[in-house]
Chain A
Amino acid sequence: MKRFLLPLVIFLIVVGFLGVGLNLDPREVPSPLVGKPAPAFNLPRLDDPEKKISNKDMLGQVWLFNVWASWCGACREEHPLLVALSKSGAVPLYGMDYKDTRQEAQQWLDMGGNPYVASAVDADGRVGIDYGVYGVPETYVIDRAGVIAYKQIGPVTEEVLRDKILPLVKRLQAQ
């Protein structure tokens, strides 16, 4: 008698998992770089191609590293938030212009506002490969020691900023 109940029990367990699964995103691949040192880069700056910017320049401070491009539609969504964030002075923002042309990138910043202390130019995307960039925009929170504390895949939203990024930044700045 009991063995006839087995199929039902198994089914209900599977359904439980399926229900949980509805709230997960199988396409979201968490970064294996979280907790590891940020990959080194030494790239020309967007505002002055003669000058270079490197990750070592930012050691000793907590900073946000935002990968963006003028051709990226979703970047438009998060841009006003980033501009507001930079004005608030909570944390410095550095950008990386990914697989873009200088002229269009500069135009884009002129039109939408420039929230970045400085932007690096990654024209062929090699630094992006090092960082595991597979979609634009992506944002990294990097601590004083140069270790990646968090990676945001996709545009930064109010909720993510308020619930994840800013509290994390405060904690790291207190270290």
Chain B
Amino acid sequence: MIPEIGHFALILALLVALVQGSFPIIGAARGNAVWMGLARPAARAQFLLISVAFLCLAYAFATMDYSVTYVASNSNSKLPLQYRIAAVWGGHEGSLLLWAMILSIWTVAVSFFSKHLPDAMRARILGVMGLISIGFLLFMLTVSNPFERLIPAAMDGRDLNPLLQDPGMVFHPPMLYMGYVGFSVAFAFAIAALLGGELDAAWARWSRPWTTLAWVFLTTGIMAGSNWAYYELGWGGWWFWDAVENASFMPWLVGTALIHSLAVTEKRGSFKAWTVLLAICAFSLSLLGTFLVRSGVLTSVHAFATDPRRGLFILAFLVVVIGGSLALFAWRAPTIARGGKFDVVSRESFLLANNVLLAVAAISVLFGTLYPLFLDALGLGKISVGPPYFDTVFAPLMTPALFLMGIGPIARWKQAALPELAQRLRWAFGVSAATAIILPLLLGHWTPMIGLGLFLAFWIFGTSVNLIYQRLGGSEQPLAARVRSTSRSWWGMVIAHLGIAVFTLGVTIVKGFESEIAVRMQTGDVAHLAGFDFTFEGVTAIDGPNYTASRGQIRITKHGVERTVLTPEKRVYTVQNMPMTEAGISPSIIHDLYASLGEPLDNGAWSVRIYHKPMVEWIWVGCLMMAFGGLLALSDKRYRLRKRTI
């Protein structure tokens, strides 16, 4: 019964979405207040209906209802409750329902926090979000129904993929989807501006907090995915340029360009066409990512069910949404694209360069991701594109972008003087160059890449410190007052940029100085890495709720003093008979010590991989700082809602 209620709720939601997607937009074009007024109640009704559907599916999982095909494919009676709930989004159909659910959350949020928007704009924004919802609901109801029944019901389920039975799994997809779907708000704002034929600074100020919030979620989601891969896959890697990782990274790159472009549009009224195009592209890349991982078009470790019919539906949806919005852009952009002039050396020009670099980076990643498909479609053979291409292309694009990050915040709007900038920046330049040369030599190993990475990281540190000093120093006012009088928006920028520096430092040190060994170890054997001694103390058999495991014990000592004990495991999840590695990790701010079990060899020995990963945690701390900076920036008081004065 409950699954049928969920199914019916989705059908009703589709009908509501049809209303929400049509009447308000037509009403805005005609000035019909009644039709425009349908938007908000429709958005709220849709939220309620989709929530009901979601809760019904969660209920089916919680109560182990194996008469529902999707539950039977992704759950099991021995699966612990928290993973049974997370299994709701563990497969294709359920993750679509999560997508629709999150879209309805963003829509209803916009419907509540939009009193200050003109009626026509609000109607168009909610209308566009309704149109997107129609697509996802239709997709679910036609070829991807999570509520499909299995008759006769299965005795037990096929279990959730063991790779997904982890706390990170509970967290990573919802965060990521909040980001992807959140860009639909920026998209809807952009379409509303194109439809309405005007775009001003107020429009930019309204759409900035929404865009920044989506960006924060996406940053957190990508970070969670990378961290999860690091501790779950057992090989110490944290980024593989896999198709699905790229699918999340491209919207992030474009989204970063978008939040910077919005700043220019808000403050100077320039970059209007850029901002609208970036908003359309960010969301389009989110949708494209959805297509890539569900259509079977690319191989990926992450790919969902590969059914060409589903692929065809999503492709048609992409053509309608993205093609339609780009066509609208081509038609209407000329009417909105009038902006202020600026000098070759000015904050605007640095931000323009930033836009271009990030956009080109996103296009390069897209090109690399799709290149195997292009070649295969043209009959030119089968290849795969991996880190060699991406690393080669990405670093040269990011280097100037990171360098400009130090200069942009100091440069004046409209017209900046190069000599003055050089003067202010020489101290930071000197410190960065010196560190880049000296530090690696102190650590024992210098390469151009390490030097470059350190230079950029310390450049951003140095220029940020300089910036803070200039803002807070040298005045009669007490420090606390100066801090408080500086806007949260500014602090957010500084913290987010520092986050990038922290991230860059972490990546440079880890890639430059990490080490690993793979050894055959018997009980009592000692391996040595990076000055530490790893004593293998054997393996015990243990039983988990739905798996059996061999748990190894590795004692880490340094000069005879015990530091910690690692317990890596090799699990076999009984239902799918699938082996899994759980790495043993000892994290700290300076380094991670990481061990994972390989295979059991003869005579009770095991193959063991041991890694020393210096400063790897800085990668994720840097991402969290970026996200925190974004949150701080969007809580700035200029975005607090005021009563709209007529």
Contact = CB atoms under 8 A, between A and B. Distances in A.
A and B form one complex: yes
Interface of A: 1, 4-5, 7-8, 11-12, 14-15, 17-30
A7 B281 contact: yes
B291 A18 contact: yes
B579 to A, nearest CB: 19
A17 B298 CA distance: 12
A19 B296 CA distance: 11
Interface residues of B, number: 33
A21 B373 contact: yes
B382 A29 contact: yes
Contact of B377 (A5, A24, A27, A30): A24
Query: For A20, A21, A23, A28, which residue has the most chain B Cβ atoms within 10 angstroms?
Result: A21
Contacts of A15: 315, 318-319, 323
Contacts of B281: 7
Given A7-B277, A22-B308, A30-B382, A17 B370 contact: yes
A24 B379 CA distance: 10
Nearest to A1: B334
B315 A22 contact: yes
A8 B329 contact: yes
Interface string B320-332: 0011001101100
Contacts of B377: 17, 20-21, 24
A73 to B, nearest CB: 15
A134 to B, nearest CB: 14
A27 B299 contact: yes
Contact of B330 (A5, A19, A25): A5
A26 B308 contact: no
A12 B373 CA distance: 15
B3 interface: no
A12 B323 contact: yes
A107 B299 CA distance: 38
A25 B308 CA distance: 10
Interface in B334-354: 334, 337
Interface of B: 273, 277, 280-281, 284, 291, 295-299, 308, 311-312, 315, 318-319, 322-323, 326-327, 329-330, 333-334, 337, 370, 372-374, 376-377, 382
A28 B326 CA distance: 34
Nearest to B381: A30
A24 B306 CA distance: 12
B315 A26 contact: no
A15 B370 CA distance: 11
A8 B326 CA distance: 5
Given A4-B333, A15-B315, A22 B295 contact: yes
A1 B337 CA distance: 10
B296 A25 contact: yes
10 contacts: A4-B329, A5-B330, A7-B281, A17-B373, A18-B297, A18-B315, A22-B308, A26-B376, A26-B382, A27-B299
A11 B322 contact: yes
Contacts of B337: 4
A39 to B, nearest CB: 21
B277 A26 contact: no
A122 B377 CA distance: 36
B330 to A, nearest CB: 4
A29 to B, nearest CB: 6
Given A7-B277, A7-B280, A8-B330, 13 more contacts: A1-B334, A4-B273, A4-B334, A8-B323, A8-B327, A11-B284, A14-B370, A15-B319, A15-B323, A17-B370, A17-B373, A17-B377, A21-B297
A24 B308 CA distance: 10
Contacts of A24: 297, 373, 376-377
B381 to A, nearest CB: 8
B308 A23 contact: yes
Contacts of B322: 11
B372 A26 contact: yes
A11 B318 CA distance: 10
A15 B326 CA distance: 13
Given A22-B308, A22-B311, A22-B312, A4 B330 contact: yes
B254 to A, nearest CB: 12
A31 B452 CA distance: 43
Contacts of B312: 22
Contacts of B382: 26, 28-30
Nearest to B375: A17
Contact of B373 (A5, A7, A26): A26
B326 A11 contact: yes
A99 to B, nearest CB: 18
In the A-B complex, the 10 residue pairs with the smallest Cβ-Cβ separation, listed nearest first, are A8-B326, A20-B377, A21-B297, A4-B333, A5-B330, A26-B299, A4-B330, A21-B373, A22-B311, A7-B326
Given A18-B297, A19-B315, A23-B308, A11 B323 contact: yes
A26 B297 contact: yes
Contacts of A26: 296-299, 372-373, 376, 382
Contacts of B296: 22, 25-26
Nearest to B299: A26
Nearest to A29: B382
A24 B299 CA distance: 11
A66 B243 CA distance: 35
Contact of A21 (B273, B327, B334, B376): B376
Contacts of A21: 295, 297-298, 373, 376-377
Nearest to B298: A26
Contacts of A25: 296
A24 B334 CA distance: 40
B437 to A, nearest CB: 43
Contacts of A5: 330
A23 B309 CA distance: 10
Contacts of A1: 334
Contacts of A4: 273, 329-330, 333-334, 337
A20 B318 CA distance: 15
Query: For A8, A12, A25, A26, which residue has the most chain B Cβ atoms within 10 angstroms?
Result: A26
A82 B544 CA distance: 46
A158 B334 CA distance: 58
Contacts of B280: 7
B317 to A, nearest CB: 11
B286 to A, nearest CB: 14
A15 to B, nearest CB: 6
Contacts of B297: 18, 21-22, 24, 26
A28 B374 CA distance: 15
B333 A17 contact: no
B296 to A, nearest CB: 7
